[in-house]
Amino acid sequence: MSPWFPSAFRALAALSALSAVDGYFYHIQAECRYSSEDLKDMEFIERRVFNKLEDMRYNSTLNKYIGYSENGVYNADIWNKDGTAERQHTNVDTYCKPNAELDFDSVLRRTVEPTVKVKTAKASSERHTTKLQCSAYDFYPEGIKLKWLRNGEEVTRDVTSTEELYDGDWYHQIHSYLEFTPQSGETIECQVEHSSLKQPKTYKWEPSVHEGKRNKVIIGTSGLVLGLVFSMAGLVYYKKKSTGRILVPSS
């Protein structure tokens, strides 16, 4: 599975200044734009905003300033001629690309293996006696596949799944369900594919006792315990009654 990469990723740095005396707002915003890991399409953008209206912009692809107001056109013409535009272009290699590499190493190239649990859930179908739940927690990035295997063969019928759920802390979770009727000697597994795994990983369902048998064992055990309790109580009562009794021989 190829590593996850956003279709359009933007690194953003901003610097704002506000004149408290005259009430004017002047905002400078620098952006590094790229959409591929090789950074060949890296673009540096600098926006200059005056009172919420963009006044002037530098674009590294064009390697020049563009004015959007009378004042912006005036300054853009000067800065394109005095070498300011050329100096701005160096930000592609000195600022944007190094910071993009840091983003890749700390976030985009980072993977976290999911924690997977396979357990029995409450069956909701009248056609089957058993429902299994395969849950994958705390994985990053998104992009995971859960597959049910029965005796090594993929099962596609009576399978439902949730969407990948975002936990709000970079991690995700997903749940898949299989409803079936168990057969003696078979194996049921949940297979997980994710970018954090070198190859798909399988997790086997290993019930100690099937649900029906487990209930019978519980009922039988409870009956046995109650029987022992009543037997012990009867024995104690008999002992107490026998202690004060005097045997008189018959004539």
Which two tokens mark 175?
Answer: 């749940």
**Tell me, what's the pLDDT at 224?**
55
The owner of tokens 């079936």 is 180
**Tell me, what's the pLDDT at 51?**
86
**Tell me, what's the pLDDT at 241?**
58
- Tell me how far CA of residue 108 lies from CA of 5, 32, 53, 163, 245, in angstroms: 7, 16, 34, 22, 89
Quick check: 10 pLDDT over 70?
no
More confident residue, 79 or 214: 79
**Tell me, what's the pLDDT at 236?**
55
Q: Average pLDDT of 136-143? A: 94
Global pTM reads: 0.53
Q: Average pLDDT of 87-110? A: 89
Which one, of 9, 30, 17, lies nearest residue 88 by Cα?
A: 30
Quick check: 138 pLDDT over 90?
yes
**Tell me, what's the pLDDT at 62?**
96
- Tell me how far CA of residue 188 lies from CA of 56, 149, 155, 181, 215, in angstroms: 64, 6, 10, 11, 22
More confident residue, 249 or 6: 249
- Tell me how far CA of residue 46 lies from CA of 156, 206, 234, in angstroms: 52, 60, 93
* Percent above pLDDT 70 for the chain: 73
Q: Which of 1-15, 63-77, 105-119, 120-134 has the lowest mean pLDDT?
A: 1-15
pLDDT tens-digit profile of 181-197?
999 999 999 999 999 99
Quick check: 120 pLDDT over 70?
yes
Average pLDDT, the chain: 81
Distance CA 99, CA 95 (A): 6
Quick check: 90 pLDDT over 80?
yes
Backbone angles phi, psi at 83, to 5 degrees: 95, -5
* Percent above pLDDT 90 for the chain: 56
Quick check: 78 pLDDT over 50?
yes
Name the band, by pLDDT with cuts 50, 70 and 90, for residue 233: low
**Tell me, what's the pLDDT at 219?**
46
Name the band, by pLDDT with cuts 50, 70 and 90, for residue 122: confident
What the chain holds in terms of domains, given with CATH numbers, is 9-108 (3.10.320.10), 115-204 (2.60.40.10)
SS (H, E, C) the chain: CCCCCCCCEEEEEEEEEECCCCCCEEEEEEEEEECCCCCCCCEEEEEEEECCEEEEEEECCCCEEEECCHHHHHHHHHHHHCCHHHHHHCHHHHHHHHHHHHHHHHHHCCCECCEEEEEEECCCCCCCCEEEEEEEEEEECCCEEEEEEECCEEECCCEEECCCEECCCCCEEEEEEEEECCCCCCCEEEEEEECCCCCCEEEECCCCCCHHHHHHHHHHHHHHHHHHHHHHHHHHHHHHHHHCCCCCCCC
Quick check: 61 pLDDT over 90?
yes
Distance CA 243, CA 246 (A): 9
Looking at the DSSP assignment, which residues form a beta bridge with residue 30?
13, 46
Q: Quick count: other Cβ atoms within 10 Å of Cβ 217?
A: 11
Q: Average pLDDT of 165-170? A: 90
**Tell me, what's the pLDDT at 59?**
96
